[in-house]
Amino acid sequence: MKRPFYFDGAFGTYYSEQYGDDIPCELANLRYPERVSDIHKAYLAVGVDAIKTNTFGVNSSWIEEETLCCELLTAGYRIAREVTAGTNVQVFCDIGYIDGENQLSEYQRNVDVFLSLGGKNFVFETLQEFSPLDQVISYLKEKEPTAKVLVSFSVSQDGYTKKGYYYETLLKEANQYADVVGLNCQCGPSHLYSLIERLNLSEYKQFSAMPNAGYPQAINGRTVYSNNKEYYAKKLLEIASLGVNIVGGCCGTTPGHLAPVIGQQLIEGKTNVIIEKAEHSVQKNQLLELFSQGKKVLAVEIDPPVDTHAEFLMEASHQMKTAGVDLITVADSPLARTRADSMMLAAKVKREVNIDVLPHLSCRDKNYIAIRSLLIGANIEGVNNVLVVTGDPISRSDGGVFQFNSYTLMNLVSNLNREVFYENPYTVCGALNVNALHFDTEIKRARQKLKSGVSVLFTQPIFSENAVRNFIKAKEELDCYLMAGILPIAGWKNALFLNNEVSGIEIPRELIDKLQVMTPDEVRDAVVSYSMERIRRVYDHADGFYIMTPLRKTELVSDIVANIRKMEQEEA
C-alpha cells in the first residue's frame, strides 16, 4: 500500500505547551516570529510532507481590525515559506471555520491575501458546515485554477458537527468541489478510525484524517492532553491502512506524536468496512396521514405546569381528544418562564391519553448533547413530531445557551431522521410569523426552513386583516402544510397584556374596547365569534388550525373546535 502524505500536527496546543503563553498563537506571527519558525522546523525535522500556516484562527471572531487580520495572514505565510525554502515540503494556507453574517466575505478575504502572496495550496479545516465553501472554492479555483484544496470537518464521535450536520452528507457535498476531503479535531484517533471505517473511501478523490491526540482534561485552568505518543502513532497507522491518503495531527499532537509514524509500514490486514443499514419498515406518521387525507387538522396547545402538578394538562388533553382534536402541542417554557419539560410531558400525554402530540423544542439553553438526548428519549416513547423554534429570549442578566439557531436545529433533526430515527422519523415543524412587518423577509426565512427539512409551518396568532393576507400569501408561495394559529382571548385584561407585552401579537383596538364592558358570558360569545371569523377568512387556504389555550380556558377552545368540525361537515 502506498505511503500516505504526512501533514504536521497541532500548532496552537503545541505552542501553549512549549511557551506557556495563553495569547492566541496567531499573534506570535508578529510578536514572536522565531517561535513560529521553531515549531515549523520541529515538524520538518520528523519528516512531514506539508505544514500549515499559523493562521487557523484569523477572523473577526476575535480580531476586529481588517488590517491586523491581513498582517497576521501575511506574516504566517511568509514564515512558513522561509522555513520550507530549499525543501520539498509543501505549505498549505490554513483557514479555520468562520461563522457569522460575513463568513463568505471573510473566507474570500483570507483567500485573496494568500493568493496575492503566491499561495496555491489551501486547507479549510475544523468546519461545522460546508456552506459557503462551495462559493469560496469556486471563487478560489477561478482565480487560481491550479490551486489544491483540502476541506476537513470537525465531528463528534457519532458523526455530527456542532451545527447538527452529519459527516457523510458533508463529505459527499464537499467532494464535488474540493481535491481532498476529510475529518479533523474533536475526535481522538480511535473514534475517528471508527467513523472512517464506515465510509466507502473509493467514492472520494482523496481522503485525509487528522485526529486529536485524545480527549483533553483541565489541569489548573489549562487544557492538557495525555502523553500517548506510541498509542497515537499506532492508531494513525491503522487509519492510514484503511486507505486514507493524507494523515496528520490536530489538537494535543506534537512532532513526537508523528515521529514514530513517518517511515513506518502500514498495518496489514486492515480494510475499509462499509457498514450498510439493514432494511427497516418505516412507521406511518399520523399527522402526515391526516394531511394527506385532506382533513382539517386541529391542534391545541396546552402549556406544561410550572410545578409538579400535571393534572390540568392531562385532563385538558382528555377533554380535547373527546372534542375531536387531532394533536396536542406542548410549549417549551414560553416567555422564558421555566416549566416542566415539553418532550417529557408530550410523551406522557401520548402514552396516557392516546392522542398524537407535538412537543415544541427550542434552541435556548440546550446544547447538542442535551437536544439529541431528548430526541432519542422521546422517540423511544413513540413521539415523532417536533416543532422547532429558537425560543423566547431571556433577560440578559440570566445568561443563556444558544448553540443552535432554529435552522441548524431543524437540520440536526432531519439528519438524525436518516441516521438514527429511520424507523420512526420525526415530522419537523417550524413557525411562521404572519404578523411580521416585513413579510417578504419572513417568506425567505420560511423557505430556508423548508430546505432544512420542515414540512409543516405553524403560524403566530392571526388577529389582523394584514395577518390574514400574509397567511394567504404564504399558502400560495410555500410548498408545505400550513397551520393557522388561533389564540382565543381570555378577556379584556388578557387582551391588553397580549397586545402590549407579547411580541408579534396585534389585537384590534375596537375588539379590546368591546371586551372591557362585556359580561363573562358575552366575552365568551364574542371571543368565539371573533375567532371563528378569523378562521373563516383563511379556512379555504389552511391545512388545519393551531389553537392556543388561553389561561386554562378550555371551554373556549372546545367551542371553537365544535364550530370548525361543524364547518367541515357542511363543506362535505
Residue where one domain finishes, among candidates 222, 240, 258: 258
Categorize the per-residue pLDDT at 215 as very low, low, confident or very high, splitting at 50, 70 and 90. confident
Residues 173 and 213 in one domain: yes
Cis peptide before 425 (omega within 30 of 0): no
Task: Give 222's contacts (C-beta < 8 A, 6+ positions apart).
Answer: 16
Q: Is position 305 within any domain?
A: yes
Does residue 278 lie within any of the structural domains?
A: no
Identify the CATH number of the domain in which residue 54 sits.
3.20.20.330
| pLDDT for the residue 418 | 86
Q: Same structural domain for residues 140 and 60?
A: yes
Q: Is the pLDDT of residue 222 over 80?
A: no
Looking at 258, 275, 301, the residue that finishes a domain is 258
> What are φ and ψ of residue 72, in 5° steps?
-70, -40
Do residues 264 and 237 make contact, with C-beta atoms less than 8 angstroms apart? yes
> Reduced to 3 states, what is the DSSP secondary structure of residue 50?
strand
**Mean pLDDT of the chain, nearest integer:** 91
State mean pLDDT over 485-493.
Answer: 91
295 Cβ contact list (under 8 Å, min separation 6): 326, 544, 568
Helices 33-45 and 66-84 meet at what angle, rounded to 10?
A: 40
- Whether 295 and 246 map to the same domain: the answer is no
C-alpha cell at 300: 391545541
Average pLDDT over residues 71-94: 98
Domain-embedded: residue 557:
yes
* DSSP SS3 for 103: helix
Per-residue pLDDT, averaged over 238-261, amounts to: 94
pLDDT at 359: 97
2-6, 270-274, 288-292, 459-463: least confidently modelled range: 270-274
CB atoms under 10 Å from CB of 157, counted, come to: 14
Q: For residues 124 and 95, is the Cβ–Cβ distance under 8 A?
A: yes
Whether residue 428 is found in the same domain as residue 554: yes
Mean pLDDT of the region 186-208 = 95
Question: Is residue 180 in a domain?
Answer: yes
Together in a domain, 247 and 314: no
Q: Is the model's pLDDT at 169 over the cut of 80? A: yes
The answer as to whether 280 is a domain residue is no
Which three cell numbers, joined as nine digits, stand for 386?
417536533
C-alpha cell at 239: 487509519
pLDDT digits (tens, 9 = 90+) for 361-387: 988 888 888 888 999 999 999 999 999
Assess whether pLDDT exceeds 90 at residue 351. yes
**Cell numbers linked to 67:** 488590517
Q: Is residue 448 part of a domain?
A: yes
Q: What is the DSSP string of 264-292?
A: PPPPTT------PPPP-PPPPPHHHHHHH
Average pLDDT for 509-538: 90
> What angle do helix axes 311-323 and 554-571 make, rounded to 10 degrees?
20
Q: Which of 144-153, 270-279, 432-441, 539-548 has the lowest mean pLDDT?
A: 270-279
How is residue 417 written as a grid cell?
431522521
Q: How far is residue 563's CA from residue 553's CA, in Å, rounded to a whole number? A: 16
Domain membership of residue 266 (yes or no) is no
The residue segments making up the domain with residue 54 are 5-258
Q: In terms of domains, do 411 and 510 share one?
A: yes
Among positive and negative, which fits the CA dihedral 474, 478, 482, 485? negative
Contacts of 487 (CB under 8 A, 6+ apart): 461, 463, 498, 505, 547, 548, 550
Percent of the chain with pLDDT over 70: 92
What pLDDT score does 162 carry? 87
- pTM confidence score: 0.76
**Phi-psi domain of 203 (left: phi exceeds 0; alpha: psi -120 through 50; beta: other):** alpha
> Among 63, 80, 78, 51, which residue's Cα sits nearest to residue 27?
63
What totals of helices (H) and strands (E) does the chain contain, helices first? 21, 18
Same domain, 379 and 518: yes
Question: Do residues 253 and 294 share a domain?
Answer: no
50 and 154 share one domain:
yes
- Same domain for 295 and 248: no
Q: Calculate what percentage of the chain has a pLDDT beyond 90.
A: 73
Q: Do residue 227 and residue 303 come from a single domain?
A: no
Count up the domains in the chain and report the number: 2
pLDDT in tens, 94-118: 999 999 889 999 999 999 999 999 9
**Pick from 57-61, 165-169, 268-272, 380-384: least confident:** 268-272
Q: Is residue 55 part of a domain?
A: yes
β-partners of residue 485 are 461, 546
Rounded mean pLDDT, 384-408: 74
| Residue 393 clears pLDDT 80, i.e. is over it | no
Say yes or no to pLDDT of 506 above 80: no
What are 261-316's pLDDT values in tens digits?
Answer: 897 766 665 555 555 555 667 888 999 999 999 889 999 999 999 999 999 999 99
Give the pLDDT of residue 504. 65
Residue 268 has a pLDDT of 61
Verify that 441 and 379 share a domain, yes or no.
yes
Whether 219 has a pLDDT exceeding 60, the answer reads: no
pLDDT score of 217 more than 70: no
**CATH (domain of 369):** 3.20.20.220
Mean pLDDT on 13-33:
93
Residue carrying C-alpha cell 499573534: 27
pLDDT at site 512 = 87
